[in-house]
Amino acid sequence: MTHAPAMTIDSIKRSLVGLRMPRALEVLDATLRRIEQGETDGIGALDQILLEELTLRENRRVKTALSMARLPAIKSLQGFDFAFQPSLDRNRILALAELKFIDRAEVVHLLGPPGTGKSHLATALAVEAVKAGRSVTFATLADLIASLAKAERDGTLRERIRYLCRASLLVVDEIGYLPVVPGGGNLFFQLVNARYEKSAMILTSNRGFAEWGEVFGDPVVATALLDRLLHHAVVVQIEGASYRLRQHADLVPEHVRSKALITPPPAPKRRGRPPGKATSDHDNG
């Protein structure tokens, strides 16, 4: 095996510093030793050094994008126990993870009682989107409305809505847990309308669509919201036990355990939609 001249190695190192390739610089010496010991050849070494650098950059990009998305926690689909939630069609969730719903600017509704994994799945899909290089924003409905209300008070509502339209995926978690403040439904509607047919959303709720009038404190706003949010929609309904309470299920009163929180809506009227398109609509999984 020939030894690379020290001058050339110094030159490579200076180039790596100039190109800001810290990981490649870090593994260079070890890689050269592997060439000397006949464990790899020049091409193999080049490939490995570049892959190391690329992996570092990719990890950094994902880390930054995940923190910018403001996810409450990092969750994965691998970490989701589908066996615990038999009403949920695993393949349907895995199909969503291919992210075509983002390209189609669809709205994914994850419905079910507390603890059934709605936020987990929404977060895991958001993580997949970030990894795939899509921009994501995650917020609870209450926080989202609070931020819109503040922007309205500050006279910056248009800018705030424009900002919230930039993400290719907006996740709105916890629709229905807290009553929406007066005027909140209207603000949310303005955002939904601005994103309508342009960019995708994932919504999670413990309440059926029939209860949205109550949730938003205004049946007219709720109807207008559902009109947008059920057009090009994927509805995933989870009807199972709470994962949080799984070890203590016997302590939970029967009327709480079995309370049917979800009332599926009558099929909404759709506009300009060819019938029989797969993957979408209310084929509850």
Contact residues for ligand ADP, defined by CB under 6 A: 75, 80-81, 84-85, 112, 114-120, 204, 243-244
Q: Quick one: what does residue 120 bind among ligand ADP, Mg ion, none, with the CB cut-off 5 to 8 Å set by partner type?
A: ligand ADP
Residue 119 makes contact with Mg ion by CB under 5 A:
yes
CA 123 to CA 135: how far, in whole Å?
13
- C-beta of residue 141 within 8 angstroms of C-beta of residue 175: yes
CA 2 to CA 235: how far, in whole Å?
63
Q: Quick one: what does residue 208 bind among ligand ADP, Mg ion, none, with the CB cut-off 5 to 8 Å set by partner type?
A: none
* Residue of 167, 105, 165 whose CA lies nearest to 134: 167
Q: Considering the complex, what minimum distance in angstroms separates the CB of residue 170 from ligand ADP? A: 17
For helices 22-36 and 6-18, the axis angle rounded to 10 degrees is: 160
Q: Quick one: what does residue 183 bind among Mg ion, ligand ADP, none, with the CB cut-off 5 to 8 Å set by partner type?
A: none
CA atoms within 13 A on the CB side of 125: 32
Kindly tell me which of 87 and 193 has the beta carbon lying closer to Mg ion.
87
Kindly tell me which of 196 and 243 has the beta carbon lying closer to ligand ADP.
243
Kindly tell me which of 112 and 184 has the beta carbon lying closer to ligand ADP.
112
DSSP per-residue codes, 146-190: HHHHHHHHTT-HHHHHHHHTTSSEEEEEEETSSPPPTTHHHHHHH
Q: Which stretch binds Mg ion (CB under 5 A): 30-38, 113-121, 188-196, 222-230?
A: 113-121
Kindly tell me which of 31 and 119 has the beta carbon lying closer to ligand ADP.
119
Q: Quick one: what does residue 114 bind among Mg ion, ligand ADP, none, with the CB cut-off 5 to 8 Å set by partner type?
A: ligand ADP
Contacting positions for Mg ion (CB under 5 A): 119
